[in-house]
Amino acid sequence: MRTVVIALASIALLTAPAYSQGRGKGGGKDPYAEQQAAEQRQKAAEAEKAYNAAIGSIPDKTRYDPWRSMR
């Protein structure tokens, strides 16, 4: 019985530092979270714009027919 109590107490003591690194009650909002979200939205918009530009530059397959003179 004594070993079980010692084991439980040691487990509780080892998990306390890990819990204290979490957000906890005093964490509140991350001051950089909104800025990071805005940067992420801007990067996504730039990537979408670059994607649409790349898709727009692909020529249609029906315009060029290398075998047109052989038919």
The token duo for 51 is 């994607």
| 53 within some domain | yes
Helices in 1-71 by DSSP H: which ranges?
Answer: 2-20, 33-56
Q: Is residue 50 part of a domain?
A: yes
Q: Biggest alpha carbon distance in the chain?
A: 94
d(CA 67, CA 71): 7
Number of domains in the chain: 1
Mean pLDDT of 30-41: 85
0.85 exceeded by pTM: no
Report yes or no on 37 lying in a domain. yes
User: Could you tell me if residue 65 is inside a domain?
Assistant: no
> Does residue 45 or residue 32 have the better pLDDT?
45
Instruction: Supply the mean pLDDT for the chain.
Output: 80
Is 15 a domain residue? no
Percent of the chain with pLDDT over 90: 28
Predicted pLDDT of residue 51: 94
38 belongs to a structural domain: yes
The answer to whether residue 64 is domain-embedded is no
Question: 43: domain range?
Answer: 33-57
11 lies in some domain: no
